[in-house]
Amino acid sequence: MSAQTSLIRTLIAERFGEAIEELGFSHGVHAFAVPPDMIVELCRFLKEHPALRFDFLSDICGVDHYPEMPRYEAVYHLYSLPNKWRVRIKCRLGDPPRVPSVTGVWRTANWHEREAWDMYGIRFEGHPDLRRIYMWEGFEGFPQRKDFPLRGYKDKLNPFGAEGPPPTQPDLATKDIP
C-alpha cells in the first residue's frame, strides 16, 4: 500500500506542485484535496497518466458542512481498472458553490453532476444539460442541504412540513444556468 501511495503522491506533486493537498490513505482509498479550478486538469491527469490510469469514475457527490465554512464539498471517487486502486478527490467550495464540470473527461459524470446540482445546488460550470434530475421542474430549494427541513416546507400538498417559505435564492434559480 505504501508503495502505491508514494507513487501517486510523487506523480501528483511532480505535475501540480503544492496546489494539491494530500489527505492520507484510509480504508483502501487515497484522498486528495484540490482547488476547484484545477479539478478537470487533475482528473484528466489521473485518467491518462500511463502509470496511474484512473479510468473509471465511480461516483460524484455533494456534501454540505453547514454551518462550517467553506460550506460545500464535491467529492469524486475514481477507480483504476488496471491497477485496482481507488482515489478520492475532494473539492471545497464556497457559497454559492461552483465547480467546473468533468463531463468532458467522463460521460458518466453527467447524471452524477445533475444529482449534486439537484440535491445541493452545486453548479457544475460547462455541464451540457444541468437540470434537476430527481425533483420536478419548478421545485424550490435544494433538499439535501442541512438547512432544508427533513419533511420539507408546509404547503397544501404537504401539511406536515416545516413552517415558513422556502428560502429564495435568486442567483441559483434554475433559469440562469449558463
* 56 binds other proteins per the rule CB under 8 A: yes
The site for other proteins, by CB under 8 A, has a size of: 35
Stretch that binds other proteins, among 14-22, 76-84, 92-100, 166-174 (CB under 8 A): 76-84
Long-range contacts of 1-10 (CB under 8 A, 24+ apart): 1/25, 4/30, 4/83, 4/85, 5/30, 7/51, 8/52, 8/85, 8/87
One-letter amino acid identity for 28?
G
Phi, psi torsion values for 153, nearest 5 degrees: -95, 150
Site string for other proteins, 97-136 (x = CB under 8 A): ---------xxx-xxx--x---x------------xxxxx
* Cα atoms found within 13 Å of the Cα of residue 75, Cβ hemisphere only: 16
Least distance to other proteins, CB of residue 22, Å: 14
Strands (E), 12-119: 21-26, 29-33, 56-64, 72-80, 85-93, 98-100
Q: Does 66 help bind other proteins (rule: CB under 8 A)?
A: no
Binding segment toward other proteins, per CB under 8 A, in 6-14, 26-34, 154-162, 163-171: 26-34
Question: Counting contacts by CB under 8 A, is residue 58 touching other proteins?
Answer: yes
Q: Which of 7, 11, 61, 177 binds other proteins (CB under 8 A)?
A: 61
The alpha carbon of residue 94 and the mean position of all alpha carbons in its chain are separated, in whole angstroms, by: 12
Note the residues at the interface with other proteins (CB under 8 A): 26-29, 31, 55-59, 61, 63-64, 75, 77, 81, 84, 86, 88, 106-108, 110-112, 115, 119, 132-136, 143-144, 150
